[in-house]
Structure 1
Amino acid sequence: MNDPNGVGFYVPGALLLLAGCLKLPALRRNPGDELLRSVCVLLFVAAAVFAVAAVPSIAAVNRVTGVANAAAPVVYTVLTAFSGANLVLVIRWSSGPDDARRAARWSRRCHAATVAVIVAINALFVLGDAPVERLTDLDTYYASTPYIREMIVLYLAAHTTTALLMTFLCTRWARLVRGPLRAGLVLIVIGYLLNLVYDALKFTAVGARWAGRDLDHLSWPIAPPVAAVSALLIGLGLVLPLLSQRLTDHLGLWRRYHRLQPAWRELRAATGRGIGPAGGRWTPIEVRVIQTESEIHDGILAVNPYLDPGLREAALHEALKTAPSADEAAAVADAAALAHAVVVWAGDAGGRAPTAAEHPAGRALLASPRTSAGLVRMSRALSGSEVVRAVREAALREAALREAALREDGGRPRSGGPGDAPGAEAGAQPSEASA
C-alpha cells in the first residue's frame, strides 16, 4: 500500500483499538473468562499491527531508537504475536467445557512457540548487519544478508504456518455450525487465504532476489494492501459472532420485558409500588427485567389469599382442549386464577380475606411463576387467552353485582372497587416511566 501518511493503516487500527476498548468492561466483570481475554488480546494486537506497520511509524521507531531498521523486528514481532493470538483464540473458541484441559494445553504450546519465534527474530536481527534504512523494501533489499535473511524467512514461515493452520481449523469448524458463527468463520478463512497470498508474494520476491532477479514490486507495493484487507477480514470474522450473540441476548431481554408487561399491568395495584425503572429511561434492560419480575412476584403474594383452586382446575380443564402443550395450558389456568384473584382483591367490599380452610397459608397455587419462562407464558395468557378473558369478565360482573347490593343495603364500598381493578380497562397501558 503506497501510503506515506499511514492513513490506510491508522484508521483500521483505530477501529480495532476501539473494539478492544469496548470489550474491557466485560473483561473487568468476568476476569476469569479465557475466551473474552483472548478476544481482547487479539483486538489490541491487531490494532498494534496496523500501528507499527505504517511507514511513518517505521520511520519513527528507527529515529527514536537511533538504530537503522530497528522497526523491522518490531513489526515482525507484532505480526508473530498476532498470528499466535489468532491460534489461541480459535483453540479456546472451538473447545467446549469437556475440552478445557486440552484447549489450555494447546494454548500453552502456542504461547511457547510464539515466544520462541519472537526471541529468534530479535536475536537474528541483533546478529545481522542492516546499516541502510529501508522503510518499505527491507525484505528484498536484505534478502541475501546473513542473519537478516534468516530473520525474514523465519517470520514468513511462521506467518505461513499460522495461515495454513487457521484455514484448516476454521474450514473444518465452519462445516459444523450455522448462523453468525459460520459467517464469521468464513470471513476468517477468506482473510487467511489472503494471508497466504501475501506470504506467497513475499516469498516470490525474496526468492527472486536469491536467483538474481528483481520482483521487488510483489513485496512492495502489492503485498501490503493484501495484508491490510486480510487483517480487517480476520478481525471482522472474530468480532461478528460475538457482537451477534450480544445483540441477540439484548433483543431477547427486551422481548422478555415487553412480554411481562401484561402481568405487571394486571398486578401493579396489588404491588403497592409500580414505580417504574429505578434509573428512568436509561435503566439497563437487565435491571428492568429483574425489577419487573420482582414486582410481579410481589403482586402475586398480595393476591395469593384470593386465588381459587377450583376455578384454576376448571380453567385448566378448558385450556387443555386447545392449548398446544401442557405448559401452555397450565399458564392459561394460572393466568385465569390470577385475573380472578386480582378482581376479588380489588373489589372485596366486605374486607373478608379467605379463611385458612378455604386457602391454606403459604400454599403456592400457581405453577407458572416458578420459572422465568413460565412467568412469561402466564403473562402472555393474561392478555391473549379467551379463557382468561371470560374469567375476568365474569369476575368483574360478580364484583359489580356485589357492590350494587352493598349500595342498596346502605353499605359503603371500599375505595378501589372493581372498576379500578387492573386489567378492567381494555388496552390499559403502563406508566411512561415503566415503559
Structure 2
Amino acid sequence: MNGPDYYIPAGALAISLAFKLPALRSNWRDPLLRSVCALLALAALVFAFAAPPTIAAVNRWTGIPNFSAPLVYCLITAFSASCLILIVNWRGGPAEDTRRVSRRWMALYGAVIVALVILFALGEAPQERLRDLDTYYANTPYVREMIVLYLMAHSLAAVVMTYLCLRWSLQVRGWLRCGLVIIVIGYLFNLSYDCTKIIAVVARWFDTDWDFLSTYLAPPLASVGALVSAIGFVVPLVFQRVSDSWRNWTTYRQLGPLWHELQGAAPQGTSLVRIAWWSPAELRITQRESDIHDGFLHLGPYFDQGFHSGAYHQALAEGAGPETARAVADAAMVAAALHARTADPEGRVIGNAQEQQPPSGHGPRDLVRISQALRHSSVVEAARRRAAVRSGSGPNE
C-alpha cells in the first residue's frame, strides 16, 4: 500500500469528523457524541501516520530512527480503546456503570500506551524500517515485547468488540442491527490483520521468513477493517436520524387532510399561528396537532354521537379492527359536523348545544388514522352524504 491508500481514507474520516464537530460544540456533554468524534479523529490519525511517507517524515523530523513505530502503535491502541468506549456509551445503561466501564478501558489502554513508549525507549532499533518493522525487529529485546503488546491489545479489543456487537445485534432491529453487523464484519478484518501479523512475527522467532504476511497482506486487511468498522458506527447514527426525519415528515403530510378540513371550522377572524418554512418537522407536527384540536373544540357543538356509533358498527361489519373502526367513526363524526357547521352560519346551534364528546384520538398516530379515514373511507363518504341531506333542511333537524 502506498501513501494515497492511507491518505484517502484518512481524508474521508476527517470529513466525517468535520460534519460532527458543530454538533459536538453545541452538545459537548453528550458522551456518545464525544466517543464518536474521538473514534473518527483517531481512525483518521492512524491512517495518516501509518502511511510510509508520513513514517519517513516523522522519523526525519524527530531525528530518531523508527520513532513512528511507537507513535503509530499508540494511535492504534488509543483507537482500540475508543471503539470499546463508544460501544459502552452506545449501548447505554445506568450512567454511573457506563462511566465506570469507560474509565476501566481508558486506564487499561492508557497503561498499554505508556508501556509501549517505555519498551521502545529501552530497545534498540537503529535501522529505519518503513514497512516491515514488526518482523525485522521481531527478535530484538524490548522492541519485540512492544510489538507483541500492541498486537495483543489490538486483538483483545477486536475480540471483545466482535463478541459485544454480535450479541447486541441479536437483541435489536433496524439500522442499529445493520450497523452492528457491519462493525462485526469490520472487526473480523481486524482479527485477520492481527492473525497475519502474529503469524509472521512468531515465524521469525523460529527462523522462518513469512514476512509477506505482515508486509503485504496485513495492511490492506487493517485498512478495510478500520473503514468498515467506522462505517458501522456511523450508519445507525446517520440513517436513524434520516429515518426519524422521514417518519416525522410523513406524519406531517398524513395529518394534512384532517388539518385542511378543520381550517374551515375556525371562527371568522381566527388566524393560525405561522411558523418559518425551515422549522423542523417535530415543531410542524406539534402545530398541526394543536390546530386540529382547536378545530375539534370549535366543532364540538355539532358532533353527533349517532354518526359516530353508526359509522363504528358499519366499519366493524366491513371487517375493520377496533382501532381502525374508532378512527373511521371519529372521521365520520367530524365530516358530519363540518356539514352541520357550514349549514349554520349564524351559530344558532352553538348557543343551544350541550357539550359533546370530541373524537377519541389525541396522539399523532390516532389523528393520522382519522385523517386517512377522512380521505379514503367509504363509511365516511356515506356519512358525508347523510349529513349533507340532513343539513339541507337545517342543522340538527
TM-score (norm. length: structure 1): 0.80
SS of 2:308 mapped into structure 1: helix
Equivalent residue number for residue 82 of structure 1: 79
Equivalent residue number for residue 237 of structure 1: 232
Equivalent residue number for residue 366 of structure 1: 359
Equivalent residue number for residue 379 of structure 1: 371
- Work out the CA distance in 2 between the residues paired with 1:175 and 1:338: 45
Q: Cα distance 1:26–1:398, how it changes in 2: closer, same or farther (>3 A)?
A: farther
Equivalent residue number for residue 129 of structure 1: 124
Unmatched tracts of structure 1, length 5 or more = 404-435
Deviations 1:344-398 (A, max 9, x none): 2233233324236x223xx652211x22211111111111222221222233344
Q: Kindly state the Cα deviation for residue 202 of structure 1 after the two structures are TM-superposed.
A: 1.7
Q: Cα distance 1:102–1:329, how it changes in 2: closer, same or farther (>3 A)?
A: same
- Work out the CA distance in 2 between the residues paired with 1:286 and 1:354: 34
Alignment RMSD, CA only? 2.8
Q: Kindly state the Cα deviation for residue 231 of structure 1 after the two structures are TM-superposed.
A: 1.0
- Work out the CA distance in 1 between the residues paired with 2:292 and 2:25: 32
- Work out the CA distance in 2 between the residues paired with 1:25 and 1:325: 47
SS of 2:317 mapped into structure 1: coil
Deviations 1:262-316 (A, max 9, x none): 101211233555687x333x54333332332232223223323332344333433
SS of 1:189 mapped into structure 2: helix
Match status 1:19 vs 2:16: yes
- Work out the CA distance in 1 between the residues paired with 2:7 and 2:154: 22
Deviations 1:50-106 (A, max 9, x none): 1221122223323333333222222111111111122222334345x4x65544432
- Give the AA of the match of 2:382: A
Equivalent residue number for residue 206 of structure 1: 201
Equivalent residue number for residue 113 of structure 2: 118
Q: Kindly state the Cα deviation for residue 31 of structure 1 after the two structures are TM-superposed.
A: 4.8
- Work out the CA distance in 1 between the residues paired with 2:320 and 2:284: 30
Q: Which 4+ residue blocks in structure 1 deviate beyond 6 angstroms?
A: none
Match status 1:307 vs 2:303: yes
- Work out the CA distance in 2 between the residues paired with 1:179 and 1:289: 24
Unmatched tracts of structure 2, length 5 or more = none
- Work out the CA distance in 2 between the residues paired with 1:351 and 1:184: 58
- Give the AA of the match of 2:328: V
Aligned with residue 335 of structure 2, among 335, 339, 347: 339
Deviations 1:387-410 (A, max 9, x none): 22122223334445559xxxxxxx
- Work out the CA distance in 1 between the residues paired with 2:382 and 2:311: 10
Equivalent residue number for residue 164 of structure 2: 169
Match status 1:91 vs 2:88: yes
- Give the AA of the match of 1:322: E
Tell whether the 8 Å contact from 1:309 to 1:365 is kept in structure 2 after alignment.
no
Equivalent residue number for residue 255 of structure 2: 260
- Work out the CA distance in 2 between the residues paired with 1:29 and 1:373: 32
- Work out the CA distance in 2 between the residues paired with 1:72 and 1:375: 62
- Work out the CA distance in 2 between the residues paired with 1:321 and 1:158: 66
Equivalent residue number for residue 7 of structure 1: 4
Equivalent residue number for residue 47 of structure 1: 44
Identity of aligned residues (%): 48
Q: Kindly state the Cα deviation for residue 29 of structure 1 after the two structures are TM-superposed.
A: 5.9
Deviations 1:187-207 (A, max 9, x none): 322322222221222223323
SS of 1:270 mapped into structure 2: coil
Matches within 5 A, 1:223-302: 223-271=218-266, 272-273=270-271, 278-280=275-277, 282-302=278-298
Matches within 5 A, 1:133-148: 133-148=128-143
Tell whether the 8 Å contact from 2:297 to 2:358 is kept in structure 1 after alignment.
no
- Give the AA of the match of 1:292: R
- Work out the CA distance in 2 between the residues paired with 1:270 and 1:382: 15
Match status 1:316 vs 2:312: yes
TM-score (norm. length: structure 2): 0.87
Equivalent residue number for residue 430 of structure 1: none
Tell whether the 8 Å contact from 1:312 to 1:333 is kept in structure 2 after alignment.
yes
Q: Cα distance 1:400–1:119, how it changes in 2: closer, same or farther (>3 A)?
A: same
Q: Kindly state the Cα deviation for residue 33 of structure 1 after the two structures are TM-superposed.
A: 4.1
